[in-house]
Structure formats: structure tokens, C-alpha cells
């Protein structure tokens, strides 16, 4: 096993593409990436671990949803640059709540499978909203406000962030609780649109907040100033 791992040119590849297949049905469930650490974790635990390009960290499949992947076998291709793993999928593989990530027919755009599990129940409203915004990038601007806003570019997106921040501030100054909640929701949505436009996952914001946790505000500010 170690000999095969050593054949992988990690300096050149950095992230190894991984095709994930159901061990019983042979259905292709998803495609992801592993760095060396994720591969070693997967080999050691026999539970799928990947490197998320959007989160910029190692993630255990199912860490939020509980829909883990138990690895039955590993295969590497002839060029030692692509991995195939066969897994026992617990629950669903796709963040949309579908069994497989491959559910849209390319030529017709027809959806081939239905949602089995609510994505909000799997990942929470913030992550679900972020993924929905990402999907709207390919939607018709005439039928989707999110797609229309994204199509207008950075200035329009940032104008809405500033506008909603101002409206929240006015609601706060007026001590209007219901308006504060409403405007905070608007501001959160438009911030997520801005993050999605730059492909920055909310998970990275959570990581930054976690980094600051336990650090005094003064110390954190001094670390940035230095």
C-alpha cells in the first residue's frame, strides 16, 4: 500500500480526483478530491475523508449530516493520478438530498432523481442557502432574483450588501426588534451572495471565528495590525 501511495506525485498532483461508487449497485455517487492526509485517513479508518476546495480543509464525509461512506475497496488508475473507491453509502451522497450527485441530464437539463432528504435538515439553513445561491449561477436571470443579481457583477452585489447593512442599522437605532430580524436576514442573504460570487464557503467564516474563539479582541486586532 505504501509503495503505491509513494508512486503518487503529490507535488505535481496536490489533490487526487476521487470517483465514488456504490459497492452494491455500482452507481457513481459523487466525485471529490483527496490530498495525502485525507487519503491516509481514509485508508486508516475505512471512512471516506476528502479535501474540500471550498472549505479549504479536510472533511469527513457525513460529518454534519451523518451520511458517512464506509469504504469497501480502493483502486488507483494506471497513471497513479485518479482514485476509485467503492463505498457503503449511509443515507445520501449529495448535498441536495439526492442519492447521487449526478442527477441532471446534460442535453435536456431534465432532473433524473428526486430529493430523498431535506438538505436543510442535513446541513442547516446557512449552508443550504449558500449551495442554493451557487446553483442559481446557472439559472435564468429572468426567473431568478439571485441569478439576476449575480449576473450584474460585483458593484451591484456590494451595493445591496451596503444597502442592507444600512437598513439593519436604522432598524437597530429605532429599537425595532422585528425589523432588526428581517433586515439581518436580508443582510445575511446578500453577504452569502457576495461570498458565493467569490466561491468562499461559509465554513471558512466558521473556521475564522473558531480561530478567534478564546482570543481577546485586542489580541486579535493586534495580530492583524502586525
Give the pLDDT score at 145. Answer: 93
**Same domain flag for 14 and 110:** yes
Same domain assignment for residues 26 and 112 = yes
| pLDDT tens-digit series, residues 17-63 | 999 999 999 999 999 999 999 999 999 999 999 999 988 999 999 99
Q: Do residues 166 and 184 share a domain?
A: yes
H-helix or E-strand containing 60?
strand 57-60
pLDDT at 218 over 60: no
Q: Tell me how many domains the chain contains.
A: 2
CA 138 vs. chain centroid, Å, equals 17
Q: Distance between CA atoms of 155 and 101, rounded to whole angstroms?
A: 33
Domain containing 168 equals 124-219
Query: In 10 A of CB 106, how many CB atoms?
Result: 7
Considering the domain architecture, whether residues 60 and 8 belong to the same structural domain is answered as yes
- Let me know whether 158 and 206 are in one domain: yes
Q: Domain check: are 98 and 193 in the same one? A: no
CB 70 within 8 A of CB 46: yes
Residue 215 maps to which CATH number? 1.10.287.1080
Which residue is it, cell 461512506?
A: 69
Give the residue from 76, 99, 119 where a domain finishes: 119
Q: What CATH number is given to the structural domain containing 59?
A: 3.10.20.810
66 pLDDT exceeds 80? yes
Which pairing describes strands 83-89 and 28-34: parallel, antiparallel, or unpaired? unpaired
Q: Cα dihedral sign for 144, 147, 151, 157? A: positive
- The answer as to whether 225 is a domain residue is no
Q: What is the pLDDT of residue 96?
A: 86
Confidence band (pLDDT; 50, 70, 90) for 114? confident
Task: Return d(Cα 128, Cα 118) in angstroms, integer.
Answer: 10
- Looking at 91, 119, 147, the residue that finishes a domain is 119
Nearest Cα neighbor of 69 from 36, 31, 15 is 31
What residues contact 219, with CB distance under 8 A and at least 6 apart? Answer: none
- Looking at the fold, whether 103 and 142 belong to one and the same domain comes out as no
C-alpha to C-alpha distance for 140 and 151, rounded to whole angstroms: 10
My answer on whether 112 and 47 are in the same domain is yes
Question: Are residues 25 and 111 part of one domain?
Answer: yes
- Strand blocks (E) in 35-145: 49-52, 57-60, 69-76, 83-89
Say what the pTM is: 0.71
Coil, helix or strand for 59? strand
Pair (50, 100) in one structural domain? yes
With a CB cutoff of 8 Å and minimum separation 6, the contacts of 159 are: none
Amino acid at each position: 500500500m505504501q509503495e503505491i501511495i509513494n508512486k503518487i506525485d503529490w507535488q505535481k498532483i496536490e489533490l487526487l480526483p476521487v470517483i465514488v461508487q456504490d459497492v452494491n449497485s455500482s452507481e457513481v455517487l459523487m466525485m471529490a478530491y483527496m490530498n495525502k492526509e485525507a487519503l491516509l485517513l481514509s485508508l486508516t479508518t475505512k471512512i471516506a475523508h476528502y479535501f474540500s476546495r471550498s472549505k479549504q480543509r479536510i472533511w469527513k464525509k457525513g460529518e454534519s449530516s451523518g451520511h458517512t461512506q464506509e469504504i469497501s475497496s480502493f483502486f488507483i488508475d494506471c497513471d497513479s493520478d485518479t482514485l476509485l473507491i467503492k463505498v457503503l453509502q449511509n443515507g445520501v451522497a449529495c448535498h441536495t438530498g439526492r442519492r447521487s450527485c449526478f442527477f441532471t441530464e446534460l442535453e435536456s437539463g431534465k432532473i433524473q432523481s428526486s430529493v430523498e432528504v431535506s438538505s436543510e435538515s442535513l446541513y442547516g439553513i446557512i449552508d443550504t442557502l449558500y449551495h442554493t445561491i451557487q446553483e442559481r449561477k446557472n439559472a435564468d436571470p429572468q426567473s431568478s432574483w439571485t441569478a439576476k443579481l449575480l449576473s450584474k457583477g460585483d458593484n451591484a452585489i456590494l451595493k445591496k450588501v451596503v444597502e442592507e447593512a444600512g437598513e439593519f442599522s436604522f432598524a437597530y437605532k429605532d429599537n425595532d426588534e422585528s425589523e432588526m430580524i428581517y433586515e439581518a436576514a436580508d443582510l445575511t442573504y446578500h453577504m452569502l451572495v457576495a461570498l458565493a460570487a467569490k466561491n468562499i464557503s461559509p465554513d471558512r467564516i466558521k473556521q475564522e471565528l473558531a480561530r478567534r474563539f478564546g482570543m481577546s479582541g485586542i489580541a486579535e486586532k493586534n495580530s492583524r495590525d502586525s
